[in-house]
Every structure is written in C-alpha cells, then in structure tokens.
C-alpha cells in the first residue's frame, strides 16, 4: 500500500472527485489504514467547521459612513464636473461624430467640382451636412445632461424635499399608503 499516493487523494475523495480504479484503490486503503481513516475524518470535519462558521456581518455604521462620504463627495462636485462626468461614458460617441464630420467636410472639399455654380451648391451641402452632425451631437449631449444631471441632480432632490414636506411619496401617495403597499408586496 502506497500511503503517499492515498494521502494525496484524500481531498479528492472527500469532494467525490475520485472514480473508477482510483476510487477502488482508495477505498481498499481505507479498510486497511487507520491513519487514512483519520485523514478522511479530519478533512470532512474541517469542511464542516468552515462551512458552519457564519460570515461576520459588516457593521451597519461602517457601510453608512461610506455611503454618506460618497454622497457628500458627489454633492461637492461643481455643475461643470457633473456635466463632464455625465458625458464621460459617451465621450467616444462624441469623438466619433467629430471625426466623421471632419472626414465628410474634408472629403467633399477635396472631391468637389471647382466650377462657380457647383462650388456654391457644394458649399451649401457641406454646411447642411456639418449642421446635421453638430445637431445630432448636440441632441445626444442634451439628452445626457437632461437625464443624468438635471433629473438626478435637480428634479429628484426637489421631489424628495416636496414629498418630505407634504408627506406624500414621489408618486403622490401618502407615506402610510406607500408603506401598506410595500408591506403587501413583501
């Protein structure tokens, strides 16, 4: 009996990962060796104890402190910083629009007919194209500012303040009704 071979496979046996000839050889070793039986019992006990130790709960004040500090940090951001932060995820989109506009205008300048009438028409077309790109970029930026800066930074705090004063939640229900509904949902 090769005890080292058996000892190396105690963890796999306890995890149910042995099969076939290896499993038969290991179980034969179990009948012969008291040390191996002790090894298996110890491995099982360790798993039981570790699994039964409850995960310590993070103290509530520690989490509350973190959220408060983050909230204060956010409030200290200027309107410009908030705008930049809101635009950051869309920065690549704006960059793509800018590059596309430059390529379109530059390409049309290179390829256009140089006759006077065509030059005027081409110029007008270039202006329209550029305005279309600028307009689309502006619309995207406007949506971002409206949703992520104005709604979140201005409208929601005002609604919360109003609901705090009137005793109604943001949907116009009384706090009592909202609490009853919340309890029912739970």
Partner 1 sequence: MKVREFERLVGESSDRLFGYAVHFLANREEAQDVVQDVYMRLWDNRSLVQADGAMGWLISVTRNLCLDRLRRRKVRSIVTVDSDRVGDHATSQSSPEDDASASVFEALLIDAMENLPEQQKSIVILREMIGMSYQEISDALDLPLTTVKVYLHRGRRHLRRQLATVIDSEAV
Residue ranges in contact with partner 1 by CB under 8 A: 7-8, 10-11, 38-39, 41-43, 45-47, 49-59, 62-63, 65-67, 69-71, 73-74, 85, 88
> Closer to partner 1 at the Cβ: 132 or 161?
161
> Closer to partner 1 at the Cβ: 128 or 156?
156
Q: Go through the chain and tell me how many residues it has.
A: 186
Smallest distance, partner 1 to C-beta of residue 42, A: 5
Smallest distance, partner 1 to C-beta of residue 27, A: 18
Smallest distance, partner 1 to C-beta of residue 57, A: 5
Longest dimension (CA), the chain: 104
| Closest to 12 (Cα-Cα) out of 2, 4, 22 | 22
What DSSP line would sit under 37-73, residue for residue?
HHHHHHHHHHHHHHHHSPPPPPPHHHHHHHHHHHHHH
Smallest distance, partner 1 to C-beta of residue 44, A: 10
> Closer to partner 1 at the Cβ: 66 or 124?
66
Distance CA 167, CA 42 (A): 60
Are the CB atoms for 95 and 88 separated by under 8 Å?
no
> Closer to partner 1 at the Cβ: 3 or 138?
3
């Amino acid at each position: 009996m090769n005890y080292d071979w058996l000892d190396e496979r105690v963890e796999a046996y306890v995890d149910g990962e042995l099969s076939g000839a290896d499993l038969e050889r290991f179980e034969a070793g179990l009948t012969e060796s008291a040390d191996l039986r002790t090894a298996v019992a110890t491995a099982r006990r360790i798993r039981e104890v570790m699994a039964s130790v409850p995960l310590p709960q993070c103290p509530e004040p520690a989490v509350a402190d973190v959220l408060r500090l983050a909230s204060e940090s956010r409030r200290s951001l200027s309107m410009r910083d908030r705008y930049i932060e809101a635009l950051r995820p869309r920065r690549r989109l704006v960059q793509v629009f800018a590059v596309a506009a430059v390529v379109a205008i530059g390409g049309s300048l290179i390829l256009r007919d140089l006759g006077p009438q065509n030059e005027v028409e081409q110029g007008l077309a270039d202006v329209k194209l550029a305005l279309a790109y600028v307009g689309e970029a502006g619309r995207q930026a406007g949506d971002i500012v409206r949703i992520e800066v104005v709604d979140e930074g201005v409208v929601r705090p005002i609604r919360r303040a109003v609901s705090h004063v009137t005793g109604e939640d943001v949907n116009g229900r009384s706090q009592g009704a909202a609490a009853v509904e919340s309890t029912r949902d739970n």
